[in-house]
A = this chain, B = another copy of it.
Amino acid sequence: MNSSNGAGKITAQRRLKYLTQLEKRGTVRVVDLAQAFNVSEITVRRDLDELAREGLVERFHGGARLVERLGQETLFEDKPRLHAVEKDVIGAVAADFVKDDQTVLLNGGTTSLAILRHLKDRNIRIVTNNAAAPAELGESVAELILLGGQYRNKSRSLYGDLALLALSQVHASLCILGSNGVSARTGLTTSVYAETAINRMMVERCKGDVIVVADGSKIGATSNFAGVPLDQVNVLITDSTADEEELNALRATGLRVIVCQVDGEALPAARPHYE
């Protein structure tokens, strides 16, 4: 699939289940996970290493612990811990849409940040108004270009004329937008007025696909301000907690809808002492 980072569906699923375990217990051990998921220990280790590379967990000898990101918890309007699992699987799928050597536009919000985690060390250019992006990307080799502008602390985003001016200099191959509300009736809606202009401009500066990412709780929701109309969007990536009826309505508009499974249907045969 992709050159550097192509986690298949089953693999991604299993890794997400590690996260739910971690959220419950704080730490996991390699041996336990191997037994619980009926895979070898080396596979678990590989999984945990990958999660560590994404900055979600911290390895220790024999297991891993959930990395606690303080600072960000209360700041964000949209709480990072909320729907963290859904956002991560959505982020993984969205990241697969980005091919090598492309320039991708990302807007603010925690879902976009989840995508960023899966874009680490890729040979791409990332353009974003997400002021948390530098810290998130860390020492990754991916090229990061930050739009300027006024800083809004609650959403950790940059907006205003300067941001739009910078955006006008950019030609992108792909645009991935997080949204506070996605509805067949009202299109994409946003909770911050200043973001609407950014989002619209991002779509405008993008030659290729426009992808919207939103966890299930946002499907059918309408936020405060009208953003991008649906006919300018090509793909919606969401998760299986989304309302099925609304998804059908969205599909009816011609939108390609990708639903990520977050709740385990394919449970491993042997699952002893968890839950």
Contact = CB atoms under 8 A, between A and B. Distances in A.
Contact of A147 (B38, B148, B160): B148
A143 interface: yes
One complex includes copies of this chain to the number of 2
Contacts of A42: none
B135 A59 contact: no
B151 A146 contact: yes
Interface string A160-175: 1111011001000000
A203 interface: no
Contact of A153 (B37, B49, B139): B139
A59 B10 contact: yes
A165 to B, nearest CB: 7
B146 A131 contact: yes
A61 interface: yes
A60 interface: yes
Contact of A146 (B9, B71, B158): B158
Interface in A212-229: none
A197 interface: no
B163 A151 contact: no
Interface in A162-197: 162-163, 165-166, 169
B60 A37 contact: yes
Contacts of A145: 148-151, 160, 162
Contacts of A165: 165-166, 169
Contact of A60 (B10, B156, B163, B166): B10
Given A14-B60, A38-B60, A137-B153, 19 more contacts: A10-B59, A13-B59, A39-B60, A75-B138, A75-B139, A131-B146, A134-B151, A134-B156, A135-B135, A137-B151, A139-B153, A144-B150, A145-B162, A146-B146, A146-B148, A146-B150, A146-B151, A147-B148, A162-B169
- Which 9 residue pairs across A and B have the least CB separation, nearest first? A148-B148, A144-B151, A148-B166, A131-B134, A147-B148, A10-B59, A162-B166, A134-B151, A146-B148
15 contacts: A9-B49, A10-B59, A10-B61, A11-B61, A75-B139, A131-B131, A132-B134, A143-B150, A146-B146, A146-B148, A146-B151, A148-B162, A148-B163, A148-B166, A162-B169
Interface of A: 9-11, 13-14, 37-39, 49, 58-61, 71, 75, 131-135, 137-139, 143-151, 153, 156, 158, 160-163, 165-166, 169
